[in-house]
Structure 1
Amino acid sequence: MNKFLRSALLVCIAGSTVFTSYAQDNLINSLTKNQSEISKQSFSFTPIINLSNTSIKNQGSSGTCWSYSTNSFLESEMIKAGKPAVDLSEMFIVRNTYVEKGKNYVRMHGAVTLGDGGALHDVINMYAKYGIVPQEVYTGLNYGTDINRFGEMAAIQEGVLKAVVKNPNKSLTPNWINAYTAVIDSYLGQVPEKFTYKGKSYTPKSFADEVVGLNPADYIEISSFKDQPLYEKFVLLVPDNWSFDQVYNVRMNELTDVIDNALKNGYTIAWATDVSEKGFSWKNGVAYIPARDFAIMNDIEKANMFNGPKPELDITEDMRQKAFDNYETTDDHGMHIIGLAKDQNGKEYYIVKNSWGVNNDYSGYLYVTKNYVKYKTTSILLNKKGLPKDIKQKLKL
């Protein structure tokens, strides 16, 4: 997801049409300038479900949305389980994921994805294998910055692994993994074997067991594709699924059925999706699928895309599959669905928590239509207890 942070996907006037009218230019420029200012006033959202969640975080210049979104999900899972929420360390999960990803890269002779990206299930897998620590114990800021900046580290990681794969000694030594891990730890810091939290000593594993107390087996990942058998597992073929994990396949409309049921029963959802659509605006905090194709909109229509509710395209399974097959839908970003709201016309939107800080119209949250979720979701991850009964039966759980 999101190899490099898309710090803001702002709607702007396209430069495809040359206007000779000075007055028209001024009108369009004025609409563009004021669009963000009036967008929030043009929407009126009323929460229907708004589940407990922790504070908004900022992933900085790193493609680690998958860790931020799923750790946020686990924090809400703690709250749902009646436990005090702990600010979990996203970078502890990232660090261990990068070690495992490096091993896989070498095993695959370099024929697998590198980069910052990951998947929702990576957090669950690393939690199960390594445990977890609180944010205060492992910030991952071991190189003098106040936010994540991964460019230099990522370049060195890649250089080390490519050198290993070239196998210059004609036989790999066991030391390459130490060299590779040392690069990561030089930037993110060495993970603690033991630490003290609220006066008690823990290891990452004992902290996961005794304080967080969540069972990795309780979580399920789901997607929807026509080219895969229904209600069975399949390997989700997106570049960031470096571990080749499997997900369950359901019908497109069942994705939102699952989300709705989970929310109604108090369970939040980790969400992997594509945020490259013209109908996704981080600044305005709204995402939808316009009924009118962006390519044939005039410039005034484009400037007003987020000035209040607009008609949406009806989404079909064929459309969803085609968008994925032709790379219109890519595995860009991970976020956290924490609630449900309706606009002034009664239309429902999911309330989504992001990890790009608080500098948008809704202080770090977005309102996303169900059609957008149906069209652009690559996977969702949730507690099995949030599944509808009929879906559980179909998946034979």
Structure 2
Amino acid sequence: MKFKPFVFSAALIIAANVSFSQDNLVNSLKSNQSADSKEGFKFTDVINLANTTIKNQGSSGTCWSYSTNSFLESEMIRLGKDPIELSPIYSARCAYIEKAKNYVRMHGAVTLGDGGETHDVINMYRKYGALPLSVYTGLNYGTSKNKFGEMAAVTQAMLEAIVKNPNGQLTPNWLSAYTAVLDAYLGNVPQSFSYKGKNYTPQSFAKELVGINPDDYIELSSLTDYPYYKKFTLLIPDNWSFDQVYNVHMDEMTDIIDNALKNGYTVAWATDVSEKSFSWKNGVAYVPETSYEDMTDQQKAEMFNGPKPELAVTPEIRQQAFDNYNTTDDHGMHIVGISKDQNGKEYYIVKNSWGTTNDYKGYLYVTRNFVKYKTTSLLLHKKAIPSELRKKIGV
């Protein structure tokens, strides 16, 4: 996931091939709020599964890594382990290496930037292991938060030069040179390290302390132009590895999430957040019955000042939004529970990675309709899926 360039300026057009930072997106969403919103909602938790502290991805397009590492931390808790805060930048760094290999093999005809997908974290965990956040922060030059703009520009220019093949044949050193740039910005990866008095490698740390089996996790989506209950390649730009996902019916996506949460499993969620009905500041997302373009100024000002009626989302509406770019793969978050508003309507409790500056200190309340409409993919433990659905997809 990376941030969709839905606010245009000369600077953004120049940077069109570089993933947009959290700052760009949050600044673009600042108008999506209502005064006194928190007073208009009365949320009561139904399920609120254990999760670790809210993080801030800073100026980086690494939401996919923050959300999925948060998901893995909750998986550790579910498995009865002491939760260890994992390094999202280690996962991202490993993905940048694999992405660079793919970019060069594809002669540059594939997405670069620092965006990614939830499965990238699982794939990197399988190949490279994991590191605790305390060992690898990715903050290597005096910043307190990620600031990846320069690194993204340098690495993209470097790989573009490599793809041009000025020597007439690629040298065997291009990857080590590229890796050295990542090390300069993010820090060298320790071959071994000490954690609570014992030495580990990234692989042994993943195996002994994190202790998840990457083969237990699968991805799902819902599109009408592929057979249901089969795998298909999710054709979104940040699926640079061309991973496949299982196709389920739209309503089954929320059935799966509900079943997961009720059985103690959280869900990594990839979605579009560019809708005017998504408010980071107010911590609420829904699908309004009246389109934003048709609202009065008063309705726009009151979009988030309490529960509102929603549009009935259909598979056709969902598919159309995907096909015409109204739904793009903007952001990754972590679904950790269910809450009810004062009218008894249920919302998903969603953990974000933009710090704690919104009304709910880093969390959001998202309706089922919004999830049905705007989800690009879900990642979860295969046993979190209802048994009948597991049989249908052959898991």
TM-score w.r.t. structure 2 length? 0.94
Partners of 1:217 and 1:116 lie apart in 2 by 25
Q: Secondary structure at the match of 2:150?
A: helix
Q: Percent identity?
A: 68
Partners of 1:11 and 1:84 lie apart in 2 by 37
Q: Secondary structure at the match of 2:26?
A: coil
The residue correspondences of 1:112-261 to structure 2 (distance < 5 A) are 112-261=110-259
Partners of 2:30 and 2:121 lie apart in 1 by 32
Partners of 2:77 and 2:61 lie apart in 1 by 27
Matched with 1:384 is: 382
Shift of 1:10: 3.9
Instruction: Kindly indicate whether the alpha-carbon contact (under 8 Å) linking 1:66 and 1:333 is maintained by their aligned counterparts in 2.
Output: yes
Partners of 1:144 and 1:182 lie apart in 2 by 18
Matched with 2:90 is: 92
Shift of 1:8: 4.8
Matched with 1:23 is: none
Partners of 1:337 and 1:277 lie apart in 2 by 19
Residue 53 (1) aligns with residue 51 (2): yes
Matched with 1:17 is: none
After superposition, give the CA deviation of every residue in 1:355-376 in whole Å (9 maximum; x if it has no partner).
0000000000000000000000
Matched with 1:28 is: none
Q: Specify which of 333, 336, 358 is matched with residue 335 of structure 1.
A: 333
Shift of 1:201: 0.3
Q: Secondary structure at the match of 2:334?
A: strand
One-letter code aligned to 2:144: D
Bigger shift: 1-10 or 349-358? 1-10
Shift of 1:263: 0.2
Partners of 1:248 and 1:183 lie apart in 2 by 36
Partners of 2:206 and 2:68 lie apart in 1 by 15
Instruction: Kindly indicate whether the alpha-carbon contact (under 8 Å) linking 1:119 and 1:240 is maintained by their aligned counterparts in 2.
Output: yes
Partners of 1:360 and 1:297 lie apart in 2 by 25
Shift of 1:390: 1.1
Q: Secondary structure at the match of 2:169?
A: coil
After superposition, give the CA deviation of every residue in 1:40-61 in whole Å (9 maximum; x if it has no partner).
0000000000000000000000
One-letter code aligned to 2:259: N
One-letter code aligned to 1:7: V
Segments of 5+ residues of structure 1 without an aligned counterpart are 14-31
Partners of 1:379 and 1:207 lie apart in 2 by 28
Partners of 1:78 and 1:147 lie apart in 2 by 25
Partners of 1:291 and 1:110 lie apart in 2 by 42
Q: Secondary structure at the match of 1:129?
A: helix
Shift of 1:163: 0.5
One-letter code aligned to 1:179: A
Residue 109 (1) aligns with residue 128 (2): no
Q: Secondary structure at the match of 1:7?
A: helix
Give the number of the structure whose alpha-carbon radius of gyration is greater.
1
Instruction: Kindly indicate whether the alpha-carbon contact (under 8 Å) linking 1:9 and 1:283 is maintained by their aligned counterparts in 2.
Output: no
TM-score w.r.t. structure 1 length? 0.94
Shift of 1:385: 1.1
Partners of 2:190 and 2:276 lie apart in 1 by 43
Matched with 1:21 is: none
Partners of 2:233 and 2:394 lie apart in 1 by 18
Partners of 1:292 and 1:325 lie apart in 2 by 21
Instruction: Kindly indicate whether the alpha-carbon contact (under 8 Å) linking 2:29 and 2:274 is maintained by their aligned counterparts in 1.
Output: no
Partners of 1:122 and 1:156 lie apart in 2 by 22
Shift of 1:9: 5.2
**Number of matched pairs:** 376
Instruction: Kindly indicate whether the alpha-carbon contact (under 8 Å) linking 1:8 and 1:282 is maintained by their aligned counterparts in 2.
Output: no
Instruction: Kindly indicate whether the alpha-carbon contact (under 8 Å) linking 1:353 and 1:366 is maintained by their aligned counterparts in 2.
Output: yes
